[in-house]
Every structure is written in structure tokens, then in C-alpha cells.
Chain A
Amino acid sequence: MFSRYSYSIIAVVIFVSMLIPLSILSGFIFTEPFFIFHVTEASSFSFVLIIGVSVMSAIVIPMNVYRIKTLQKSTSKIGGSVIGSIIGASAGICSCGPIGFSIISTFGTVAGTAAAFLTNYEIPLRIGSIALLCLVYYTTTRSISSECKIS
């Protein structure tokens, strides 16, 4: 499937469009006043998880697009992959940065509680989202190989 350029391009676009914004929002890439990439020893695990979420999303989402488009199968699995990606992406980004500040100052206490949850459980949520994406990958791979089998 990834031998087709279009799916490889989708994968690369998803990977880059997740990794860079998440790195900026999580404080690994700074753009003002200079461009700086900085990962401290304490936050290296968090950065590894961001890479994990981005890689898994970049693999699983194009696979499901292929499954729906080529094999005309149901959309249930892509739902799982999108949810996994959203959880992985939203965990941690609502903390001290501009997104968290905007959400909390716009929506008040309820948003503050939600943002605190996403911040406090950033690592377990990201691990959970990677696990969900791995599960979707496993079921999608099985589904594609059985549906594509020539009997």
C-alpha cells in the first residue's frame, strides 16, 4: 500500500503536521525570537511519545484511507485511528502554552478542569493513544490481508 506515492505522501504529511505543531506546543521547538530546538533530559520521554503518536498516526490513518477507498469497507477503524491521534495530540498541549491559555480564558473553570486533566495525565494519555493506534494497526493489517487474499 505504501508503495503507492499518494499514500506515502499522506503519511509524510500527517507525520510532519503532527510532529512539528506538537513539538512547538509542548515546548520542544521555539520560534520566538530565534528558532531553537531543545529537549531536556527530563522531558525526553515526552518527546519520544510525541514521535510515537506522530509515527503511528502517519501509518494507521493512510492504511484506513486505503481500506475505505480501495476495498470500500466500513469507516469504523478510521474512527479509532482518528480518536487515537486526537487523544495523543491533545494530551499535554492544553498546559501552559497559548492553546491552554486561550481555552481556559475563553471557557473558564470547566475548561480549566479539562486542561488540568490533560496536563496531569499527559504521559498515560499519550501511551494510551499509542496503544490504541497499535491496536487499530493490528486489526487493520489483519483486515487488509484477509480482504485482499486471492482465493
Chain B
Amino acid sequence: MDKRFLVVIAFIVLVTVVAITFSSYYFTLLEMQQYRPGMSEQSLDINLKNGSPVLGSENAPVTIIEFGDYQCEACYHWFHNTRADIIDNYIETGKAKLVFVDLPFLGRDSIVAAQATYCAEDQGKYWDYHNTLYNFQEEIDNGWASKDRLIAFAFNLDMNLDEFSDCLDTAKYNKRVKANYDEAVKQGAQGTPTFIIIAPDGSTTKIAGPQPYSAFVKVMSPLTSAVQIEQP
């Protein structure tokens, strides 16, 4: 076939893909702006009932919502570089609480991994399981989060395997994970990890990407310094 013809076809395909992607991104942004203009400074109605159990004190004045995917490398980096400092300085001191909301979009195993965390929650081990997934994360859909591996993680955490396997096989938390995905999209998460910090007065600040601890301090220090902290 003529070489020039192939180049033209490749160019047209590339332009089409870029155009569709851009328009999709643009219209999503437009929809979000129509849904709630000036998001970063306004109070939001965020539905967290399908998210993770709260990490930290229920009475903490500041809420950190993390929208994440268990196969996302950026989430892995945030988990290993930033999260520990937030836990030490904000969660354990009762200044803030953390809620994880699933945004599983990267691969087929992302959804099953998210469902598995709620199967672990049934046995009181949500956060142990969550931490295990981020400690053992590998490449997207290479089998590290296959059903067998997820069961092996449960075994390592001394969970009841029959109950856990049954929960996974019946896709017990399929709707819950889907609801979390929809909530994340509704709140304007355009990738993972995305964070929404809810201040005591209900105003919100969005932090997009695996940002360093200093970025969280800049946002959270003014919010936590003014309020009386009830020790957990």
C-alpha cells in the first residue's frame, strides 16, 4: 500500500482520537461547571455513605475525601510518600478524618479490588485490606489483583476465607462500588488520586493528584488551627 496513504490514515485516526477525547473532557468540565459553579469555595453535598469506614475520629472537624483506584501508580506514590504524615499529624491527633471513595477506572481488576475491600469491611478489616492492596500493587491488570490474589491477601490478614470468597463470587458490593464511582465523577474527580478537603464550615478545597504533604499542610493548617480539637 502507498506509504503516504498510510501516513494520512494514521494522521486522521490520531486527530479523531484527540478530538473525541478533548471534546469528552471539555463537555465533562462544562457539565460540572453547570452542576456547581465555583466548586472550590462552595459547600458541596457529598454522599459518603457508600465510601469506606471513617479513618480517625468521627468528630474531627476536617474531612479528607480521597478518590482513588487500587491499580493507580500515582495513588501508590501518594500512599507511600504523603499519607503517613497526614495520619500522624491530622488523623491521629483528631484534627481530621479520612474517607476513601472508589474511582476504579484503570482496569478490570480495579473494580474487583474495590469490591474486595468492602468484603474485608464485613470482617472489620477494611483499612488493613486497603493498606495491603497499596503495599502489594503491581502493574495494571497483570494478575496482582486477580480473585486468587485477593483471596490470598485475605488469608494473610486472618480473615474467614469462605465468607470472603462468597462475597467476591456474588459481587456483593458491585452496586456500592458503582455508586462510589458515580459519586466521584459527580464531585468532579478527573483522575486518581483526587482529594476534597471539607472545612468545619462546609467549604471545600480540591487537591488533584498525588501532591506532597506540604500541599495538604497549606490547605489544612488554617482549617485546623482555629477549631477546638476533641481528642479521639
**Chain A positions near chain B (C-beta within 8 angstroms):** 27, 30, 32-34, 36, 38, 40, 42-43, 79, 95-107, 112, 115-116, 119-120
Kindly state whether residue B214 has any CB partner on chain A within 8 Å: yes
Given contacts A27-B210, A96-B73, A96-B191, contact A102 B25 (CB under 8 A): yes
Given contacts A42-B77, A96-B106, A112-B107, contact A102 B215 (CB under 8 A): no
Which chain B residues in 49-72 approach chain A with CB under 8 Å? 69, 72
Give the Cβ gap from A118 to chain B, nearest Cβ, in Å: 10
Contact A36 B215 (CB under 8 A): yes
Number of B residues, CB within 8 Å of A: 41
Main secondary structure, interface of A, reads helix
Give the Cβ gap from B184 to chain A, nearest Cβ, in Å: 10
Contact B191 A38 (CB under 8 A): no
Contact A36 B214 (CB under 8 A): yes
Contact of B21 among A95, A103, A119, A120 (CB under 8 A): A103
Contact B208 A95 (CB under 8 A): no
Q: In the assembly, what is the distance between CA of A102 and CA of B23, in Å?
A: 9
Q: In the assembly, what is the distance between CA of A107 and CA of B210, in Å?
A: 25
- Against A, the Cβ 8 Å flags (1 = close, 0 = not) of B125-163 are 000000000000001111000000000000000000000
A-B contact pairs, 12 of them (CB 8 A): A33-B218, A36-B211, A96-B191, A101-B190, A102-B21, A102-B22, A102-B28, A103-B17, A106-B20, A112-B108, A116-B141, A120-B140
